[in-house]
């Protein structure tokens, strides 16, 4: 199942992968930079409690 959000960026509709899918992909690749990104993204998720995740369209 593909989960993503869409948003307008000027005249272009941009698609964004769901955060959990992004984290899963980065962990699967397992490059040092991707694993560091995962740590930062997880920390950011915890920093903003109660902020709802984007709902897939």
* DSSP-assigned letter for residue 6: E
Q: What span, in angstroms and rounded, lies between the C-alpha atoms of 28 and 25?
A: 5
Cα pseudo-dihedral 50, 37, 7, 56, rounded to 10? -60
Which residue has better confidence, 2 or 31? 31
Please check the confidence at residue 4 and state whether its pLDDT lies above 70.
Answer: yes
pTM assigned to the model = 0.68
pLDDT for 11-47, tens place per residue? 999 999 988 999 999 999 999 999 999 999 998 888 7
pLDDT tens digits, 45-57: 887 766 655 444 4
Give the per-residue pLDDT at 57. 44
């Amino acid at each position: 199942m593909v989960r993503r959000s869409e948003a307008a960026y000027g005249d272009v509709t941009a698609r964004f992968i769901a955060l959990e899918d992004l984290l899963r992909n980065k962990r699967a690749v397992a490059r040092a930079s991707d694993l560091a990104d995962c740590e930062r993204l997880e920390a950011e998720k915890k920093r903003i409690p109660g902020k709802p995740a984007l709902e897939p369209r």
